[in-house]
Amino acid sequence: MSLHSPVRSAASSRSAMATSPEAKLQSFLHWLYANGAELRGSTIQHCGADKGFGVFSAPTGDRRDDGIVMTIPLDLAITPMRVLQDPYVGPRCRALFEEGHVDDRFLVMIFLTVERLRHNSQWKPYLDMLPSTFGNPLWFLEEELAELKGTTLYQATMLQKKNLRALYDDKVKPLVEELLSHDGHLESVNEVRFEDFLWANSIFWTRALNIPLPHFYVFPESLGGQEKDSACKDHGSGVSATATVGETCVEVDGHKIKEANNVGEKRKDEDTSNAIVSKTIWVEGLVPGIDFCNHGLRSRATWEVDGDGSVTGIPVSMHLILAESNTLEAGKEILISYGNKGNEELLYLYGFVIDNNPDDYLMVHYPMEAFQNVPFADRKARLLEIQKAEFRCLLPRGLLCHGFFPANSLQTGDQKKISDDNLGFSPVNYSWSGQRKVPSYLKNLVFPQEFLTTLRTITMQEDELCRVASLLEELAGSREAQHLSDREVQAAVWEVCGDYGALQLLVDLLSAKIIELEEGSGNEDCDNELLEKFFAMVLQDLESESNPTKGEFLNKSKWSSIVYRKGQKQLARLFLKEAEHALEMCTTE
């Protein structure tokens, strides 16, 4: 963000009194318009207590022919540059940033925490529109969180809450109190609470976009070209961009749960590339208005950045554009895609799940602590390093379509491509000695070779280690270069060990995964019974004026947890079936 124009706190006195969703919305819209935003073919409406606000299509006659339904000047975006240039928090944050004590994301979270506590914040009309609580596990009550026991998400949530609490105690609370005390215009505020920072953290991860801004906008001449003041990424030339999805990760027991936010990707246009003179700087931030779009599997819109104003008439703005501008019925919600995410990511980040999610996945990992007790761990660790092996793997549901028990059939060409990619090294001259042939089951093996490579190495016996070393010495001695590639080492390990040990260990890991998932909550049938009771009670509530069961048995958080864990159990069972069949075939060959 740059110092082009300050955000005007229009109707700040009215917004202070706004309590109902309708009053908050009117105050926010007035604030948007006062700051140059345009809703051309869309409206923002309240969707209910559980859903908050959403963006809806206006009547066809009110829309532009180009499909643009909303335009927001990026002077309204809350970005790290905006924080550093803020008259109240900027000086202190800039000092901390230059010393390397905080990063870009932390700056935005601190800013949100402070502005939420300031009575006269110029961002109040926007902040009042944002949810005050969230459906992700960081906000679960103890009994709600218990529904996740046995899942990877339970471990991730417990670790993240611990990390956030430590960050709050060590850095956030004293910094926020200091920033508030330095603002001479502040009235007295309540004590800073952990929930204030947890709110800011959730707001950032559920709403932040990675915005591709023109270089001249992020680093105006008034800043003296001090690009070192920002950790923004320079991705070359281009001022027009369209939305895709990116991610960062929280790692638990070697497994990365993705914390994803919408990310912009440059539009490549070879015909006009020579005419573009500005570089693009990627800046994470919140864009009021655009960020009220909810998720849909079949998105109806995307967002784009207009650097020079040639598209919207508003330079350095973000606009929402319909995928099919003339076909969306008036009053329909305009949805965007948050990406192809499994329920683990959706629940962890956004607080919702999709029943029978086609993008669901299962994580399987070999515990690092267990590896320390494996015989000849040091020698095996060196082999694993050379092979670039993985101690974990994500198994998307879609892999099952190519296994021994496919949900649907694929064309032969598609199966071959997947098989070759899964193999990891060429089947030509698969065995150096010719004694071990390409296994017949390979074309249906759904498990990544990087992970099977790890399991092969872990299960190696002492004599097998010696034979692999002998093969590699023979190969290295046959040429001048002594360096062996990862694929050569993989091939040597496979020739000596085959797949039996790896598949047996994989079966054990998947069996243990099922036991862990079912402990305390039963199998899939138990989860289905709970969900059926829940739906029955929902119907009863709808039919009864007194709503006698409302709030009982299952709330939204518990329902989401059960849907997520049921999907994990189902995937674990299906992948175990695949592993057991592969092991059986391996035994007979």
Interstrand relation of 209-214 and 255-266 (parallel, antiparallel or unpaired): parallel
Alpha carbon distance 124, 135 (integer Å): 23
Which of 75-84, 100-109, 216-225, 234-243 bottoms out in mean pLDDT, i.e. has the lowest? 234-243
Expressed in percent and rounded to 5, the helix, strand and coil fractions of the chain are 50, 15, 35
pLDDT at residue 92 tops 70: yes
Q: How confident is the model at residue 259 (pLDDT cuts 50, 70, 90)?
A: very low
Reference 228, options 117, 84, 60; nearest CA is 84
What's residue 434's pLDDT?
Answer: 57
Residue 292 pLDDT exceeds 50: yes
> Reduced to 3 states, what is the DSSP secondary structure of residue 192?
coil
pLDDT at 545: 55
pLDDT higher for 410 or 361? 361
Q: Which residue has better confidence, 255 or 505?
A: 505
Query: pLDDT tens across 451-487, in order?
Result: 999 999 999 999 999 999 998 888 777 665 567 888 8
Is residue 208 over pLDDT 50? yes
Report the pLDDT averaged over residues 119-123. Answer: 88
Of all residues in the chain, what percent carry a pLDDT higher than 70? Answer: 76
What's the angle, vertex CA 38, arms to CA 50 and CA 277, rounded to 5? 115
Residue with tokens 């869309």: 42
Interior/surface letters 222-254, b for 16+ CB within 10 angstroms, e for the rest? ebeeeeebbebeeeebbbbbebebbeeeeebbe
pLDDT value at position 220? 66
* pLDDT at 571 (0 to 100): 97
Task: Give the model's pLDDT for residue 478.
Answer: 67
Residue 200 tokens, joined: 């800011």
Mean pLDDT value across the chain: 81
Lowest mean pLDDT among 160-169, 407-416, 462-471, 476-485: 407-416
Predicted pLDDT at 58: 86
**106-115, 478-487, 544-553 — which one is most confidently predicted on average?**
106-115
Residues 12-18, mean pLDDT to the nearest whole number: 42
Determine the length of the chain: 589
Q: Looking at the predicted structure, is the pLDDT value of residue 224 above 50?
A: no
Please compute the mean of the pLDDT values over residues 408-418 and round it to a whole number. Answer: 40
> What token pair was written down for 49?
């207590």
pLDDT score, position 581: 97
Q: What is the pLDDT of residues 21-65, one digit of tens each?
A: 999 999 999 999 999 999 988 999 998 877 789 999 987 666 777
Confidence band, pLDDT 50/70/90 cuts, at residue 555: confident
pLDDT above 80 (res 575): yes
Cα–Cα distance, 388 to 220 (Å, whole number): 44
For 62, the token pair is: 């009110």
Q: Which two three-digit tokens encode residue 67? A: 């499909």
pLDDT band at 320 (very low <50, low <70, confident <90, very high): very high
Does residue 206 surpass a pLDDT of 60? yes
pLDDT at 182: 75
Euclidean distance between CA atoms 81 and 73, whole angstroms: 15
Query: For position 340, what pLDDT does the model report?
Result: 86
Q: What does the pLDDT read at residue 170?
A: 95
pLDDT band for position 280 (50/70/90)?
A: confident
pLDDT of residue 323: 82
Residue 344 has pLDDT above 60, yes or no: yes
pLDDT tops 70 at residue 11: no
- Residue 586 and residue 452: Cα distance in Å, rounded? 14
Which residue would you say has higher pLDDT here, 274 or 134? 134
In this prediction, residue 477 carries a pLDDT of: 73
Query: Is residue 16 scored above 90 in pLDDT?
Result: no
Residue 576 has a pLDDT of: 98
Closest Cα partner for 288 from 277, 303, 276, 278? 303
- Does the pLDDT of residue 413 top 80, yes or no? no
CA–CA dist 247, 89 (Å, integer): 28
Residue 240 has a pLDDT of 35
